Chain A
Amino acid sequence: QQQVKQSPQSLIVQKGGIPIINCAYENTAFDYFPWYQQFPGKGPALLIAIRPDVSEKKEGRFTISFNKSAKQFSLHIMDSQPGDSATYFCAAKRRQGGSEKLVFGKGTKLTVNP
């Protein structure tokens, strides 16, 4: 059972475009929704995160939009650059017993052409 569904699987945009990556979840126990950026040969790096009591969060050119009623959230990259070409993962975290667990979407490979 995939707990976080991410789309699209891959995305190609031109420089300056606004790629949008979408994620959906079912479990209302999730309380934290981060996005990770991963370059080839590197570990995932935390990019931006949001809590469900907030509808939007911006950090630089990256924005998360969160729709709690629809159980969906998305990442927007403004004025995209070739250096943004990477794989992006959405995730959702919940507390379970004495631990905190993070589940991931399957990733979106973004290519920004010059």
Chain B
Amino acid sequence: DAGITQSPRHKVTETGTPVTLRCHQTENHRYMYWYRQDPGHGLRLIHYSYGVKDTDKGEVSDGYSVSRSKTEDFLLTLESATSSQTSVYFCAIGTGVPAGNTIYFGEGSWLTVV
């Protein structure tokens, strides 16, 4: 258990509505990530953070924004949800050097956009 909590775990929302997913960690790690998982695509990085207020884009960042105002929380926002954003979203934390560079994942948030 890497101390990662994602909320909500399941959500159904309508096209065009804003959605925020929350990732909370209890271990005070510097690195946090948001991935999405889709059949045939594996896990793809949306955004990541390497510290409070330090964030950057991943490979599939269009339509998403993130914020990290506290070490323990990393929020992913879909400004205006589209059906193509129906996916499973995983938050991850990175322990970084010198703790072994290990990345651990949360249990996922299932989002359906109708």
Where the two chains meet, the residues of A that have a C-beta atom closer than 8 Å to any C-beta of B are 6, 31-32, 34, 36, 41-46, 49, 89, 93, 97-107
Which residue in B50, B54, B108 is a CB contact (below 8 Å) of A43? B108
The residue of chain A having its C-beta at the shortest distance from the C-beta of B6 within the complex is: A43
Q: Interface on chain A toward B: helix, strand, loop, or mixed SS?
A: strand
Where the two chains meet, the residues of B that have a C-beta atom closer than 8 Å to any C-beta of A are 31, 33, 40-45, 48, 50-51, 54, 56, 58, 90, 92, 94, 96, 101-108
Contact A44 B40, beta carbon cutoff 8 Å: no
Contact B41 A102, beta carbon cutoff 8 Å: no
Contact B50 A98, beta carbon cutoff 8 Å: yes
- The answer for the CA separation of A53 and B55 in the assembled complex, in Å, is 31
Contact A107 B54, beta carbon cutoff 8 Å: no
- The answer for the CA separation of A32 and B99 in the assembled complex, in Å, is 13
Output the least CB separation between A36 and chain B (Å).
8
